[in-house]
Structure 1
Amino acid sequence: MTSNADERLPWRLVVSLVIGPASWLLPHQGAIATLLPQKISEIDPVNKVPLVMMFSTVAMIVALFSNIALGACSDRTRTRFGKRKPWIIGCSILSCLVLLIYSRAETIPVMLAWWCVYEFVVNGVAAAIVAQLSDRVPARWRGTASSAYGLGQTIGGQAGILVAAQFLGDVTLGVEVFAAIALIGGVVSALLAGERSNLHEPVAPFSKRELVTMSMFPTRNATDFYKTLAARFLLVVGSSMVSNYMLYILQDYLGLDQAGAQRLLSVNSSITLIIGLVCCLGAGPLADRIGRPKQLAVATTGMIAVGALVPFVFPTPAGLIVFSIIVGIATGANSSLIQTISVIVLPNPEAAAKDLGFLNLANTLGGVGASFVAASVIGQFGYGAVFVAQAVVVLLSSALFYSIKRVR
């Protein structure tokens, strides 16, 4: 029998699932997609493309370890404040401090070192926040809660680029603003979620065997889990291979100066943000109503391939705006749909943060794969070809989502 508690929407948690991902992703995306490339181009304009790829690769290695390790530690945490709140607050404070130090770096090696530290701590925030979808959301509200989480991701991802575009002339101030957002948003999110003590929950004694289990990929009932991982990886590769180089695409492909690039970057980010918010809010409840998140994800992922061909055929500001509209629809919907799918395919809900951390490898590895593929394509064929490559990659992602059996 379903309890009344299961019937009610946990609205405080839902609101916190908007604020939480927005508060860590906004600084992260604003820095990595705009301010980091800008600062690199100021220090070493000749080698800016390979340096962006190098930063992404090294940061991926750090984030790869951090997301899984800190997620597993969060799963085992037992305190009177719960198991997610201490990690969200603690890592948000550290993220703020590290960004403030990073903002004053003046050489590539120092920038790289502090960026790696930032990647380590910010993934502790991310792992703890997303695990709440599995811990505390009743199945009937999973799509709606995933929409809230996706809404936060959309705000963070797109608003981060929009805000960062205003600080192209003062990167240091921009990073300082992002540091404040990371601190305030992370703490507010954790307090609003209202997590209670979990001291009563059993936990396996720590041992060498438990340590191995904490670091292992799931092996039982995990076929759809790995299909989801591969599909998410390809989707991130396809999406990021354009967004990571958007500043250079505007300047070197469309031929805009810094002022023109800043204006178009702001316009495109605003379009993608507004459309993404609307589609994100609608996709989760729609998936709850019709019970077919997979079919919706297949369709929206395929839309990105269509949108990618527009700026390839029409390399103009108007073509890029059309691209942003189509991608905004698809990305907004996917931000909730894919999170719903990810929670459903978890092999073991008791290890939610760890296994969602493994799924989040798609974001980390995808970002690096995107930089590698994009740099190779740009080097061989120019900026226009990166849109064709994006279309091919996201179509492969759509096919993998279609092959998942456990989700309709």
Structure 2
Amino acid sequence: MSDPTARHSTSEQFRTAATGGQSRVSARWSVLFGLAWTGVWMAQLAPFQYLLPVQLTAALGEPVSADGTGWQASVVDFGVVSGLAAVCMAIGLPLAGALSDRTSGRFGRRRPWIAIGTLVFACALVGLGFQTSTTGIAVWWCAAMFGFCAVASALTALIKDRVPHEQRGTVAGAMSMAQAFGLIVGLGSVAVLALTADSAYILLAAFLCACAAPFFLSAGTEPAAVSRSTTAAHLSLSPLALLRLHDFRWALIGRITVNFGNSLCTCLLIYFLQYDLKIADPGSALLLLTVAYIASVLAVSMVCGWLSDRVGRRKPFIVGSAALQSVAAVLLMVSDSLWSTVVALAIIGAGYGCYMGIDQALGADVLPDAENSGKELGVMNVALIVPPAICPLLGAGLVDLFDGSFVELFATSGILTFIGGLAVLRIRSVR
């Protein structure tokens, strides 16, 4: 069996060629990168947070009874659909990353996959809007997630390909801000315009294309890519070999655990508002929570990323952000009003904004090979993307197990987030 450490050492010769020397990226590049991510997050998060639960409840055709029971069936359906999408993403992210690693031509390695993924994602969203059965919703949402995987894996790989170490925190912070902008614009557009499902998905598909197109159409986004050498292809590490690399393994463990914790806290908010707090207009309340969450994300993500670049440290920011999210989970456990929930979500936003502003940079820092960064970051991003998709199923199971109580759900979230923050202390190559 090949020694992954030896492969790592040999692959150093390919770094300079793969990254083109990694000169500093321009402000224009960063803006277009953030805009592309805004469209992607908008198209992925707005359905996940609001449209899919509403659509599945309508497809179920079983209204909640007068005593407030019966809603768990909708939660379970949402969890199952999200779980199936998680399986698709676990396969799609590393696969799409590996395919982009092997792409060559005058359009670069990543831009063709950003374009293909955007088209697949947008078409699947349009089809999703016309589904009225749980099966149809599941099939089209899974198709949309394959498109999402192509875009996300290619965009993330560009952080390693194009961005030098001293700018990665700042660029990762821009990605975090894009997530916040995408969520609020997506949810806000649907809520303010009072769109039906089919109209909402068409609008999101249009936003996705409009935001991503300037990035993959720009000739300055990525230089032409030469064909991979046979030696470089041979040096590509399998997912199991990657897990044997100490720092990569612990970075992956930390990312998985923190994202599971954060997702458990936020994935069933619409149900928490409607059936635990008994909010009369849960859609508007969810928008208020989202604004609080996003305001905090925007306030800290770029600042924390920039500070991390300035001081040359990643670990203290990640541990602190995880601890802050754990505190917010405790607040949600005892929350009995909309406004206490708003405060808790604002704290979660601050913690997660800081975390996202640093963790993508840390992930790029611990990658063993620039030549195969698409596949390696695809494996790493399974830990970022899949937990939010699985958590509705796990959360639904916890809520159902404890007779509709959300306390145990939030407690589990706080514990996982804190443990995940501590995991990065085992990483040796990053301070």
TM-score (norm 1): 0.91
The equivalent position to 2:410 in structure 1, one of 377, 387, 393, is: 387
CA 1:319–1:362: 2 relative to 1, 3 Å: same
Summarize the Cα distance change of 1:7–1:84 in structure 2 as closer, same or farther, 3 Å threshold. closer
Question: Are 1:36 and 2:52 matched, yes or no?
Answer: yes
Q: Distance in 1 between matches of 2:343 and 2:81?
A: 30
- Per-residue CA deviations over 1:54-87 (Å, capped at 9, x if unaligned) read 1111111111111111110101100111111111
1:336 to 357, 381, 404: 357
User: Paired residue for 1:191?
Assistant: 217
Give the structure 2 partner of residue 305 of structure 1. 326
RMSD (Å), alpha carbons: 2.3
Counting only pairs closer than 5 Å after superposition, residues 18-33 of structure 1 correspond to structure 2 as: 18-33=34-49
Give the corresponding residue for 1:290.
311
Letter paired with 2:127 = I
Q: Is the 8 A contact 2:236 2:372 kept in 1?
A: no
- Amino acid corresponding to residue 389 of structure 1 in structure 2: T
Cross-structure match for 2:430: 407
- Compute the displacement of 1:290 (Å): 0.9
Q: Residue 97 in 1 paired to residue 113 in 2?
A: no
Counterpart-to-counterpart distance in 1, 2:26 and 2:308: 18
Greater shift after overlay, 147-156 or 62-71? 147-156
2:3 aligns with none
Deviation of 1:11 (Å): 1.8
**Contact 2:248 2:367 (C-alpha < 8 Å) held by counterparts:** yes
Structure 1 residues 69 and 191 mapped into 2: Cα distance closer, same or farther (>3 Å)? same
Change (3 A) 1:176 1:222: same
CA contact (8 A) 2:114 2:154 kept: yes
Alignment of 1:168-183 (within 5 A): 170-183=196-209
Do the aligned partners of 2:109 and 2:225 also contact (CA within 8 Å) in 1?
Answer: no
Distance 2:243 2:126 in 1: 43
Structure 1 residues 29 and 199, CA, compared in 2 at 3 Å: closer, same or farther? closer
Contact 1:67 1:127 in 2 (8 A): yes
Aligned to 1:151: 177
Distance 1:300 1:166 in 2: 32
258, 273, 276: which is aligned to 1:250? 273
Where does residue 32 of structure 2 map in the other structure? 16
2:367 to 298, 322, 346: 346
- Name the CA shift for 1:256/1:379 in 2 (closer, same or farther; >3 Å): same
User: How far apart, in 1, do the equivalents of 2:341 and 2:363 lie?
Assistant: 31
- Residues 215 and 401 from structure 1, CA distance in 2 versus in 1: closer, same or farther, beyond 3 angstroms? closer
1:140 maps to amino acid: E
Shift of 1:218: 3.7
The corresponding residue for 1:51 is 77
Q: Give the direction of change, closer, same or farther, for the CA distance of 1:60–1:251 in structure 2 (3 Å limit).
A: same
In the alignment, which residue of structure 2 is the partner of 1:64?
A: 90
Q: 1:305 to 1:83 in 2, by over 3 A?
A: same
- Alpha-carbon distance change, 195 to 331 in structure 1, aligned in 2, over 3 angstroms: same
For 1:388 and 1:317, how far apart are their aligned partners in 2? Answer: 19
What secondary structure is seen at the aligned counterpart in 2 of 1:349?
A: coil
Task: Give the structure 2 partner of residue 361 of structure 1.
Answer: 382
CA distance in 1, matches of 2:134, 2:47: 15
Superposed displacement of residue 167, structure 1: 6.4
1:371 and 2:392 matched: yes
The structure 1 residue matched to 2:299, chosen from 278, 287, 303, is: 278
Matched residues in 1 for 2:190 and 2:265: separation? Answer: 17
SS of the residue aligned with 1:134?
A: helix
Count of residue pairs brought into register by the alignment: 400
Q: What is the CA-CA distance between 1:168 and the residue it aligns to? A: 6.6
Provide the C-alpha distance between the structure 2 equivalents of 1:244 and 1:117, rounded to a whole number of angstroms: 21
Determine the C-alpha separation between the residues in 1 that align with 2:384 and 2:107.
29
Paired with 1:366 and 1:385, the residues of 2 have a C-alpha distance of 18
What amino acid is the match of 1:185? Answer: C
**Residue-by-residue CA offset, 1:340-361 (whole Å, 9 max, x unaligned):** 1100111112111111110111
Which residue of the partner structure matches residue 167 of structure 2? 141
User: 5+ unaligned residues in a row in structure 2: which ranges?
Assistant: 1-20, 63-69
CA contact (8 A) 2:82 2:392 kept: yes
Q: Decide whether the 8 Å contact of 1:88 with 1:124 is kept in 2.
A: yes
TM-score (norm 2): 0.87
Distance 1:118 1:108 in 2: 15
- Gaps of at least 5 residues in structure 1 are none
Per mean C-alpha deviation after superposition, the further-off stretch among 269-278 and 196-205 is 196-205
Which of the numbers 297, 312, 318 marks the counterpart of 2:339? 318
